[in-house]
Structure 1
Amino acid sequence: MTQSSVGDSYDGAVIGDRFRLARPATILARTASIAPIGFTRLKSDRAPPGRTMDVPAENAYLFHVQLRPVEVDMWINGKCRSATTTVPGSTFLFDLSSNPIAEIRSSFDNIRFYVSQASLDEFAFDQGIRGITGLASSRIAFQDRVMWGLANALLDSVEHANERSTLFIDHVALTFCAHVVKAYGNAAVPHETASGGLSPWQLRRVLDFISAHLHDDHSIAELAHECGLSSGYFSRAFRQTTGETPHQWVMRRKIERARQLLLGNGLGLADIALVCGFVDQSHFTRVFTKLEGDSPGRWRRRHY
């Protein structure tokens, strides 16, 4: 079978078919220009019948991070590799050129990370890394605390995929790429040097841009473009300059604007949510409560 550089393995319908699930929730980060990086939650309260479907050969990789124990055996290139029973946090790395097939004998719940070789190449070039020709692990299942942390960080976003969280998803994707290239790549990764941060004009330009378009759902690539930087460099430089990720900075600005509106002209919560760039009142309430420790309604009553 001819191996393609980019396939459809991040598509929720295709993933669902392979695991005999209804279309599972999938979110995509487009930090790479060639193919998105995909995150999917695969969950079932019962074991699927038989083995999962064949996987067309593709120059890409999967990480499955288990959120609860699972009993599974794997077939890689037609050869059985027993994984028996795993524990929460167990991580699998699969090369999609090797037709990984699973026989799952229990309920399961995991976060699936998809990244193409093309996306890894683009990320590595941006970081000044040469010679990344694949990802590999010596074990079929292993513990990876970073992947476990990323999987848990993604849970809320995957379950609320309709909500605007592009900056957060992009940040996770860049962190994921940096980790897997360093931990599972086959090239020497240079020691990370501290960036000089954003210059005053770059910081002013990107903050003015965000403030003028606070209701929009920007990507890191769009913000980086305002500064004439790559996504990876911009993300690091922004955090060094402000002490926050772009997503954290934007969320704080939105909540500050929401507080002003809550104390001001009597707008309803649904209207404030839309003015501040949230999908709906539920999304606004969840973010506001997380950052302020109280719901918007109670906060308004306490401060009137």
Structure 2
Amino acid sequence: MSGSYQSQVLGERFHLERAPTLLARTASVTPIGFTRLKSDLGAIEPAAKVTVEQAFSFHVALLPTATDLWIDGKHHAAPSISPGATFLFDLSSDPISHIYQPFDVLRFYISQASLDEMAYSEGDRRATSLVSPRLGARDHTMHGLATALLDRIELARERSTLFVDHIALAFYAHVTETYGHVTGPGKIVPGQLSPWQLRRAVDFIAANLDGDPTIAQLAVQCGLSSGYFAGAFRRTTGVTPHQWLIRKRVERAQELLLRGRIELAEVAVVCGFVDQSHFSRVFAKFAGMSPGRWRQRNRGSHL
């Protein structure tokens, strides 16, 4: 059966032609899902009923709008919603929405099984449920995560698994801390990577510049869980694994640009960029200029 985190299922439920979705496989049971739900007109009819499941969705408003909600058959009106308003829905409670104005929403999905698995692997206290004190309360962290995901969702073909994994782990940490009813011992406070762990991680990244490595793969190299590894890597290097990967791709591209007349499209493929446009956009962010201009400016000093 199709999961409620899948793009087609969500598009049909909210009467949308497209519902672009990214999935993070930071848990083995079900993915953490991120979906953009956008309509320039609003919905003519309420969203279709959701399959009851032990899972939660967070809807973060990106535009002002208004909606009617039904939870377990009880009506809740939300006539004025501002950007950043966050709605937590327990998908076992039969939530139904009717957003009758234009809307732009980032939907986050996580199952109870994923919450349990990640808590175990990260040494966290287990969140037996997620509860919000008020529907539509403004959550600055969730709004920030939603905004960070927008470009990635619309450019899903670009290789950004490390970035999406990082957002998924940040989402998990935030919702369990903010909305979780937790049990068990306190969280283990992680430290930094040991020298051998850092070397393993950066060597794996260097060997996979033309691929799309995941945080889980890097964590395995170090004998750590995904969440512990991600935090320890950032504390050790000052950047996230995704930022490290992009920087190394750009550095590799600079080496190739100085070697000769290799075409930019070929450099892009060798260094793990989807195409020349993707390569040029990322390169310019790091170098302050296009790859072609950078090569013209720097080639003379390496002859």
- By the TM > 0.5 criterion, same fold? yes
Residue in 1 that maps onto 2:222: 227
**1:111-150 C-alpha deviation (Å, 9 max, x unpaired):** 1101111111112112333442110112111100100110
The answer as to 2:83 corresponding to 1:80 is no
Name 2:48's counterpart in structure 1: 53
Check the 8 A contact 2:24/2:31 in 1, yes or no. yes
Which of 248, 264, 277 is the matching residue for 1:253? 248
**In the TM superposition, what are the counterparts of 1:115-134 in structure 2 within 5 Å?**
115-134=110-129
In the alignment, the residues of structure 2 paired with residue 250 and residue 222 of structure 1 have an alpha-carbon distance, to the nearest angstrom, of 14
Aligned partner letter, 1:159: E
Give the deviation of 1:47 after TM superposition: 1.2
Aligned to 2:69, the other structure's residue is in SS state strand
When residues 249 and 40 of structure 1 are mapped into structure 2, their CA distance, relative to the original with a 3 A threshold, is same
- The reply to whether residue 270 of structure 1 matches residue 269 of structure 2 is no
Please state if 1:11 is matched with 2:6: yes
1:1-304 to structure 2, matched below 5 A, reads 8-187=3-182, 194-304=189-299
| Partner deviation per Cα, 1:181-205 (whole Å, 9 max, x = no partner) | 0000011687766523111111112
Higher strand share: 2
Aligned-residue sequence identity (percent) comes to 57
SS at match of 2:285: helix
Q: Please give the alpha-carbon distance, in whole angstroms, between the structure 1 residues aligned to 2:111 and 2:287.
A: 38
Higher mean C-alpha displacement, 186-195 vs 205-214: 186-195
Do the aligned residues in 2 keep the contact of 1:27 with 1:158 (CA within 8 Å)? yes
Structure 2 CA distance for aligned equivalents of residues 269 and 114 of structure 1:
38
- Measure how far apart 1:242 and its partner are: 1.1
CA displacement 1:48-83 (0-9 Å, x = unmatched): 111110011011110111111111010001110111
Secondary structure of the corresponding residue to residue 129 of structure 2: coil
Distance in 2 of aligned mates of 1:38 and 1:130: 22
How big is the alpha-carbon RMSD for the aligned residues of Structure 1 and Structure 2?
Answer: 1.6
1:193 to 1:294, Cα distance in 2 relative to 1, 3 A: farther
Give CA-to-partner distance per residue, 1:232-266, whole Å, 9 cap, x none.
11111111111111111111000001111122221
TM-superposed CA distance for 1:31, in Å, is 0.4
How many residue pairs match? The answer is 299
Tell me, in whole angstroms, the C-alpha distance in 1 between the residues paired with 2:53 and 2:209.
Answer: 39
TM-fit CA distance, 1:292: 2.0
Q: 1:3 is matched with which residue?
A: none
**Deviation of residue 43 (structure 1)?**
0.7
Q: What SS does the corresponding residue of 1:139 show, helix, strand or coil?
A: coil
- Name stretches of at least 5 consecutive residues in structure 1 with no aligned partner: 1-5
SS at match of 2:202: helix
Partner Cα distance (2:71, 2:225) in 1 = 36
- Distance, in Å, in 1 between the alignment partners of 2:75 and 2:190 is 46
Question: What letter is aligned with 1:66?
Answer: A
Any unmatched runs of 5+ in structure 2? none
> Secondary structure, in 3 states, of the residue corresponding to 1:112?
strand
The 4+ residue runs of structure 1 with deviation greater than 4 A are: 188-194
Letter in 1 for 2:259: G
Structure 2 length-normalised TM: 0.94
